Amino acid sequence: MRDSKRLLKYVVPSVLVLLLLISVSAVFMLGPGADVPKAKLDVNLGIAFCGNTTSEAKLLIDRVKTYTNLFVLDSGANPISQDQSAIEEICDYAVARDLNVIVNLGHPESMSQKSWFWNLSSLDGIKQRWTGRWGDKFLGIYYNDEPGGIQLDGDWTSWFAEYGDNLDQVGHDATDALYNIYIRMKEAEASGLAPENYDEEARFFVENVLREDPGLLKLKASGITAFTSDVLHWFDYLGGYDVIFAQIGWNASVAQQLALVKGAARLQDKDWGAIITWKYTSSPYFDTAEQVYSQMMTAYQAGAEYVVVFNYPMLSGNDYGALTNEHFGAIERFWDDVTDKEKSFADLSAPEAALVLPRNYGWGMRRPTDVIWGFWGPDEKSPQVAGVLDKLLKQYGASLDIVYEDAAYPVSLENYTNVYYWNWTGDFTPEPSPSPSPTPSPEPTNSTPKQYTYELVNFYPHEANAFTQGLVFDGGYLYEGTGLYGSSTLRRVDWVTGEVLQLYVLPEQYFGEGITITGDRIIQLTWQSNKGFVYDKQSFALLSEFAYPTEGWGITYDGSRLIMSDGTSTLYYMDPGTFEVTGQITVHDTGPVTNLNELEYINGRIYANVWLTDRIAVINPQSGQAEAWIDLSGIENSPNLDPNSVLNGIAYDAAGDRLFVTGKLWPHLYEIKLTLLD
Ligand SMILES: [Ca+2]
């Protein structure tokens, strides 16, 4: 193959780098022995500067110098990172104000022309120069933002389509590894079976993507501390990084991100931190100041050695980047609180509980449908992992560690108080439910969401092999759609006896999802096939198919429009005849409500199961506001339920004013009434 070496050396890393979703980065830290006349602080607290001039940098330093102890010169994508004298001028200024410094100099392969830094044949000289200049206030280099995120989000399908067949002709370790993976993917496609392990994929990432990375090799060779922030922390440490920051942003679970980095660092004896980044991809970018404070404090209590706030972009009209006065106020308050000897905060850093994931299971875990190593979709283990994780996060919060089966880093009751494996099927004693109030359910309003519990009216048998994805009541019958590849069905059910009266089995390549009924038609979605089916309600004869661009989760009908969920916070309105999308809403409470799953339109409101929770959101169909929440915790308490057995199924009998709920593989269907909590 022509230019085969080039493919390996440049194309592979370049493709990875270019695919980065958001080119953010940050770096920082401070040593405990540093001469800090301000307050003593057992965390390195800093702002990531992402501007492009020395004057902007100095302005920011002057703003934060009294309540931070670290400055992250995080302009790796900007020309300033290629200007040695500007970098040294900024760092001189920061160090003179008692701040430690971390510098981001970009990636050597992603720039059209390598900067002076990466053109150095060895980094020994610059390490000596900067250590001589700044002493131990020079903490290290922030390098190659999100290598694991890039691996996960790369468009490997297109890449393999172009290069896959020729990879075996290149004769390099990395392309050989990719060729093996390519063959595995083709075999899996033919057999319909996911791989039993991901050792090949992990080896490629750790050995080829990280350990052969030219910049990381140089940093390691000179002994410069290498920082980055990411999502696959365990493997980043294996690949050579010294300090990883968990990314706290978007709608990711703070406790989950901390658990991933903390568990990896604890077992591999590395340092870790957290970087507070964007909640939104446009202005105002950041969460509220109160939330930013709370995120910083959670990371601190969990034992973070570094807390960094990513200050990007440089917004016009704001001399200080993207952070507002309120955000700076929150950072100062955090500093004041953690340096106040009169105050103490709960220490959540002890090794209290570990969740052990399968060996080399490089699942992104950022959403239920996240990929494994970027090559594979979620497999049959993914829902189990997600279910156990959800239980453990509820039980342990930021005290949880997430680690992996790895003979080199054993987990046992010698290093953790509690150890749980990914296929654990136990449960914790539920919180006692609040005493129900006799108030009948009123119309929800758009003020603070109302909270409902339930009153059990009756329960009925439900076929325990039904992986419920859609539930609707029509003409005295219950209709149900079930999921899983190879056992997805559409069924008509006698809701009193649970007997399946009519059954249609979907072709095995489809994972059935939500269903709804419009007149004499039943509509059924599929999960990731972008295809929906239309059946005759009486005969279950397949009438037609339709396409949609998103995943398919839940669906309902308001009498004129279909309403569809895709696992995000978005609900789509569709024309029931043409299936064209005619509108959409974002479901929100204090922030977006994601993982919206099975739906039911009831008396002018959309009821939505939130996946992996026991809660149903009651949604205003115009505004998307979650006007009320229904807590169904503990309603299905059968022992030995599979971890996938989560609440999922809402049906309403308008004629009888009966509300039914069930869950995946639940042995019961419940008829309930809602009860308002004060
Ligand atoms: Ca439903």
d(CA 134, CA 73): 14
The yes-or-no verdict on residue 148 having pLDDT over 70 is yes
Residue 320 domain flag: yes
Of residues 449 and 78, which shows the higher confidence score? Answer: 449
Residues 84 and 108 in one domain: yes
Judge contact between 234 and 218, C-beta under 8 A. no
Looking at residue 426, what is its pLDDT?
85
Q: How many Å apart are CA 448 and CA 189, to the nearest integer? A: 48
- CA dihedral sign, ordered 445, 649, 366, 641: positive
The burial class, CB within 10 Å (0-12 / 13-18 / 19+), for 278 is buried
Position 12 pLDDT exceeds 50? no
Q: Are 501 and 635 contained in the same domain?
A: yes
In this structure, the answer to whether residues 318 and 369 fall within a common structural domain is no
Give the Å distance between the CA of 167 and the centre of ligand 1: 48
Confidence of residue 16 (pLDDT cuts 50, 70, 90): very low
Q: Which residues pair with 521 in a beta bridge?
A: 518, 536
pLDDT band at 7 (very low <50, low <70, confident <90, very high): very low
State how far the Cα of 476 lies from the Cα of 63, in Å rounded to an integer. Answer: 68
How would residue 8 be classed by pLDDT, with cut points 50, 70 and 90? very low
Confidence of residue 591 (pLDDT cuts 50, 70, 90): confident
Q: How far is the CA of 650 from the centre of ligand 1 (A)?
A: 4
Average pLDDT over residues 585-613: 93
Mean pLDDT of 161-174: 91
Distance (Å) from CA 438 to ligand 1 centroid: 26
Is residue 599 one of the residues assigned to a domain?
yes
The CA 384 to ligand 1 mean position distance, Å, reads 23
The pLDDT value recorded for residue 641 is 73
Q: How far is the CA of 555 from the centre of ligand 1 (A)?
A: 7
What distance in angstroms lies between residue 576's CA and the mean position of ligand 1's atoms?
16
**Domain for residue 207, yes or no?**
no
pLDDT at 369: 85
Ligand 1 geometric centre to CA of 423 (Å): 29
Q: Cα-flanking dihedrals φ and ψ of residue 510, to 5°?
A: -110, 140
Task: Tell me how far the alpha carbon of residue 485 lies from the centroid of ligand 1, in angstroms.
Answer: 21
Between β-strands 243-248 and 226-230, what pairing exists: parallel, antiparallel or unpaired?
A: parallel
Beta pairing class for 138-142 and 521-526: unpaired
Residues 130 and 101 in one domain: yes
556 C-alpha to ligand 1 centroid (Å):
6
Determine the average pLDDT of the residues in 184-191.
93
Flag whether pLDDT at 446 surpasses 70. no
Report the mean per-residue pLDDT for the chain.
88
Final residue of a domain: which of 339, 365, 391?
Answer: 339
Tell me if 363 is assigned to some domain.
yes
Both tokens of 652, joined, read 């309403």
Percent of the chain with pLDDT over 70: 91
The tally of domains found in the chain comes to 3
Shared domain for 519 and 382, answered yes or no, is no
Calculate how far, in angstroms, residue 80's C-alpha sits from the geometric centre of ligand 1. Answer: 55
CA distance 155 to 19: 8
Mind listing the pLDDT tens digit for each residue in 638-669?
Answer: 776 777 888 999 999 888 889 999 999 999 99
Categorize the per-residue pLDDT at 355 as very low, low, confident or very high, splitting at 50, 70 and 90.
very high
State the distance from the centre of ligand 1 to the C-alpha of 660, rounded, in angstroms: 9
End-to-end CA separation in angstroms for the chain? 71
CA gap 261, 236 in Å, rounded: 10
What are residue 91's phi and psi, to 5 degrees? Answer: -70, -35
Task: Give the Å distance between the CA of 154 and the centre of ligand 1.
Answer: 35
Predicted local distance difference test score (pLDDT) of residue 20:
34
Better-predicted residue by pLDDT, 581 or 17: 581
Distance 357 CA to ligand 1 centre (A): 33
Ligand 1 center to residue 469 CA distance, Å?
8
Count CB neighbours of 320 within 10 A. 20
**β-pair partners for 70:** 46, 100
Query: In the predicted model, what is the mean pLDDT of residues 490-518?
Result: 94
Please name the helix (run of DSSP H) or strand (run of DSSP E) that holds residue 133, with its range, or none: helix 124-134
Distance 460 CA to ligand 1 centre (A): 17
| CATH number (domain holding residue 605) | 2.130.10.10
Q: How far is the CA of 615 from the centre of ligand 1 (A)?
A: 14
521 Cα to the center of ligand 1, angstroms: 15
Q: Is the pLDDT of residue 232 over 50?
A: yes
CA of 399 to the centre of ligand 1 (A): 36
CA 206 to CA 173: how far, in whole Å? 12
Q: What pLDDT, on a 0 to 100 scale, did the predictor assign at position 543?
A: 94
d(CA 334, CA 171): 53
In a domain, 183, yes or no: no
Distance 652 CA to ligand 1 centre (A): 8
CA distance 652 to 220: 62
pLDDT at 19 over 80: no
Contact in structure between 636 and 663 (CB atoms under 8 Å)? yes
CA–centroid distance, 60 to ligand 1, in Å, is: 53
CA 516 to ligand 1 center in whole angstroms: 7
| 263 and 148 inside one domain | yes
- Beta-carbon neighbour count of residue 339 at 10 Å? 17
Ion ligand 1, residue ranges at CB < 5 A: 471, 600, 650
pLDDT at 36: 36
Cα(661) to centroid of ligand 1, in Å?
9
pLDDT at 441 over 50: no
Same domain, yes or no, for 28 and 87? yes
Distance (Å) from CA 4 to ligand 1 centroid: 54
**Distance of CA 545 from the midpoint of ligand 1 (Å):** 20
Angle at 295 (CA atoms; ends 391, 423), nearest 5 degrees: 20
Q: Is residue 402 part of a domain?
A: yes
Between the CA of 523 and the centroid of ligand 1 the distance, in Å, is 12
Domain final residue, candidates 421, 442, 468? 421
| pLDDT digits 0-9 by tens, 89-147 | 999 999 999 999 999 998 887 666 678 899 999 999 999 999 999 999 999 999 988 99
Distance 281 CA to ligand 1 centre (A): 32
641 CA → ligand 1 middle, Å: 22
- How many angstroms does the Cα of residue 470 sit away from the middle of ligand 1? 5
What does the pLDDT read at residue 640?
66
| pLDDT of 297 | 94
Give the bridge partners for 48, in sequence order: 72, 310
Ligand 1 centre and the CA of 575: distance in Å? 18
Q: Which residue has the higher pLDDT, 525 or 285?
A: 525
Expressed in angstroms and rounded, the spacing between residue 573 Cα and the centre of ligand 1 is 16
Angle between helices 54-64 and 325-339 (to 10 degrees): 50
Q: How far is the CA of 653 from the centre of ligand 1 (A)?
A: 11
- The CA 525 to ligand 1 mean position distance, Å, reads 12
Tell me the CA–centroid distance for residue 424 and ligand 1, in Å. 29
Tell whether 321 and 368 lie within a shared domain: no
One-letter identity of residue 52: N
pLDDT at 438: 40
User: pLDDT-derived band of residue 430, with 50, 70 and 90 as boundaries?
Assistant: low
Among the three residues 403, 421, 439, which one is the final residue of a domain in this structure? Answer: 421
**How many A from CA of 598 to the centre of ligand 1?**
6
CA of 236 to the centre of ligand 1 (A): 42
Distance 305 CA to ligand 1 centre (A): 47
Indicate whether 252 and 365 sit together in one domain: no
- CATH number, domain of 246, equals 3.20.20.70
Q: Measure 543 CA to ligand 1 centroid, in angstroms.
A: 21
Query: 533 with 662, same domain?
Result: yes
**Which of 374, 461, 14 lies closest to 198, judged by CA?**
374
Residue 188 counted as domain residue: no
Which is higher by pLDDT, 367 or 177? 177
- What is the CA(522)–ligand 1 centre distance, in A? 12
Nearest to 72 by CA among 310, 247, 243: 310
Is the pLDDT at 392 greater than 80? The verdict is yes
**For residue 638, what pLDDT is reported?**
77
Please enumerate in sequence order all residues whose Cβ is within 8 A of that of 138, keeping only pairs 6 or more positions apart, or say none. Answer: 91, 95, 100, 101, 130, 131
Evaluate the omega torsion of the peptide bond into residue 284 and state whether it is cis, within 30 degrees of 0. yes
Distance 649 CA to ligand 1 centre (A): 6
507 and 606 in a common domain: yes
Does residue 412 belong to any structural domain of this protein?
yes
Å from CA of 381 to ligand 1 middle: 26
DSSP string for residues in 428-466: PPPPPPPPPP--------SSSPEEEEEEEEEEEE--TT-
Residue 176 pLDDT grade (very low, low, confident, very high; cuts 50, 70, 90):
very high
Instruction: Compute the distance from residue 378 Cα to the ligand 1 centre, in Å.
Output: 25
Structural domain range at position 543 = 450-677
- 3-state secondary structure labels for all residues of 137-171: HEEEEECCCCHHHHHHHCCHHHHHHHHHHHHHHCC
Q: Are residues 307 and 398 in the same domain?
A: no
